[in-house]
Amino acid sequence: MSDAPVVAWDRFSSDPRSQHNAALRASDFDRSLALDALATAYADGRLDREEYDERSTGVQTSKTLGELVTPLRDLAPDPETSGALVLSSPAAVQTQAEQKYAHARRNAFSGFLVPSLICWVIWIATSIGGGGFYYPWPIWVTLGTSIRLIQVS
């Protein structure tokens, strides 16, 4: 079974799921994309032979982009109903990547700061109470936890 999405909505001349594009005439390329998606679904076992034949006939006789949606709708997740993220533009991909990077950086920074501060506070407290500053062992914790911070930066 393929890991790639069955329906590549972004490859159509215009997104057929959009109400603004539904009335636009479908090109041979658009119908070919729809047929490829049906063939992939049939090969994956998502459609039986009768369903494939019925849907293929519908795609081949379609006139508008909106008519291509019905045979394909249940082959790909719908972001409004499933909560799945369907990216439709490079700007959306860029935004998601920036958010993921910012989240990873915050996690790496807090993973560095919290253990380092705790260890240094313990070292200072025990050094003052013990009559002098001893070997600065928290440096190893600081160095160890900084590795992830450096990797993310």
- Please write the tens of the pLDDT for every residue from 1-46: 445 557 888 888 888 888 888 899 999 999 999 999 999 989 988 8
What does the DSSP assignment read for 14-36?
A: S-TTSTTTTTSBPPHHHHHHHHH
Is residue 33 within 8 Å of residue 12, measured between CB atoms?
yes
pLDDT average, residue stretch 109-125: 92
Locate tokens 């013990």: which residue? 130
pLDDT tens digit string along 46-100? 899 999 999 999 999 999 999 999 898 888 765 554 444 455 678 888 888 899 9
Query: What is the pTM assigned to this prediction?
Result: 0.50
How far apart (Å, rounded) are the C-alpha atoms in residues 88 and 85?
Answer: 9
Is residue 115 within 8 Å of residue 141, measured between CB atoms?
yes
Is residue 71 within 8 Å of residue 55, measured between CB atoms?
yes
How far apart (Å, rounded) are the C-alpha atoms in residues 71 and 30?
Answer: 13
